[in-house]
Amino acid sequence: MPRSTSGPPAPAAVLCGLAGWVPPRVVTNDELAKRLDTDDAWIRTRTGIRRRHVAEPGQATSDLAVEAGRRALDSAGGPPPDTVVVTTTTPDRPCPATAPVVAARLGLTGAAAFDVGAVCTGFVYGLATAAGLIAAGAARRVLLVGADTYSTIVDPLDRTNAIIFGDGAGAVVLRAGDPDEPGAVGPFDLGSDGTHEDLITVAAGGSRQRSTTAEPTHAERHFAMRGREVYRHAVTRTAASARTVLSAAGWQPGDVDHFVPHQANLRILHSVADDLGLPRERCASHLETVGNTGAASIPLALADAVARRRVAPGDRLLLTAFGGGLTWGSCVLTWPSPADTPRPERITP
């Protein structure tokens, strides 16, 4: 049947709930320096990180996701979601997905539930997935949780990675709405380049390693990153993706009130802001207190900025992420009207 060209536009995903949660245990740079050949000054000047939160032994990604998810649902009010999406690099187990467990623990048994994997770009990919489901009429209300416990995959004695990552979860609720109303998410730019799959990787634990008979080595079981190369890609790919999405939205860089990038490294955030011609003060930054929290970093940074009342209705936001794959993605939204504005609690002091 030919597709109709008239009729109402497809519904958009409108943000109506937001929250973040980090486990209580704090690990400072000085604490890391007791077991690693590093120091507070190196970590602060090279990354902008002062401390991070780390899950207790036995605390899994779903535990963090449930805490953030419950708070996001409370902030949204309204009916329960019909779909739960979790984006993570550290699922509870290879099988099943983490989302059905999170949905069940939130009392949402029966909801569609699945995981999205795009490493640190996962939250932007998850937003695009939720927006697509809503536009297709396959979902009316989506809980999207970005959650990661990198402490479970990073070698605690690897000074390059152990200093960067922290554990945490951030969540949003998206409802079907009008593409022109404040809070509507999009347009999007998504991309990948799998020729660089080895720049960020956990070699063992998947089908590639299991198809051989060799026992994985210590290094193969842990997270590995070629930091300097990733850094270079992160700056160029994020800036290019941000420009693409700004142009699709018809915005100039100067129109952006809040730049909310994946919180990888403060130097990367500032380089991208400089490249786009955005004042650094417009860059939301939360990594000083939580580190790089993977798929949780954008909703955590957003929740932190909103909780500190830095974001006002009508403000224009640019979200952009970069991660393993390589993957990258960006999207924009205008902060919702007062009636629809989610009010998350403060996450860290």
> What phi, psi does 328 have (nearest 5°)?
-155, 160
Active site residue 283: no
42 touches ligand UT7 (CB under 6 A): yes
> Going by DSSP bridges, is the β-strand pair 258-261/316-323 parallel, antiparallel, or unpaired?
parallel
* Alpha carbon distance 165, 100 (integer Å): 26
Exactly one of 53, 262, 265, 331 is catalytic; which is it? 262
Residues of span 101-130 touching ligand UT7 by CB under 6 A: 120
Exactly one of 16, 120, 283, 331 is catalytic; which is it? 120
Active site residue 262: yes
Residue-wise DSSP of 298-324 = HHHHHHHHHHTT---TT-EEEEEEEET
Active site residue 286: no
Least distance from C-beta 325 to ligand UT7, angstroms? 10
Single out the residue of 143, 144, 268, 278 in contact with ligand UT7 (rule: CB under 6 A). 268
132 touches ligand UT7 (CB under 6 A): no
Residue-wise DSSP of 126-150 = HHHHHHHHHHTTS-SEEEEEEEE-G
User: Please, are residues 259 and 282 in contact by the beta-carbon 8 Å criterion?
Assistant: yes
Nearer to ligand UT7 by C-beta: 62 or 89? Answer: 89
Binding part of the chain for ligand UT7, among 14-22, 54-62, 72-80, 158-166 by CB under 6 A, reads: 158-166
Helix 40-47 to helix 266-276 angle (10° resolution) is 20
265 touches ligand UT7 (CB under 6 A): yes
Q: Which residues, including other chains, have CB under 8 Å from residue 41's CB and lie 6 or more apart? A: none
227 touches ligand UT7 (CB under 6 A): yes
- Closest C-alpha to 171, from 65, 89, 61: 65
270 touches ligand UT7 (CB under 6 A): no
- The footprint of ligand UT7 (CB under 6 A) covers 38, 42, 46-47, 120, 159-160, 163-164, 227-228, 230-231, 234, 264-265, 268, 292, 322-323
Catalytic sites, residue numbers? 120, 262, 292
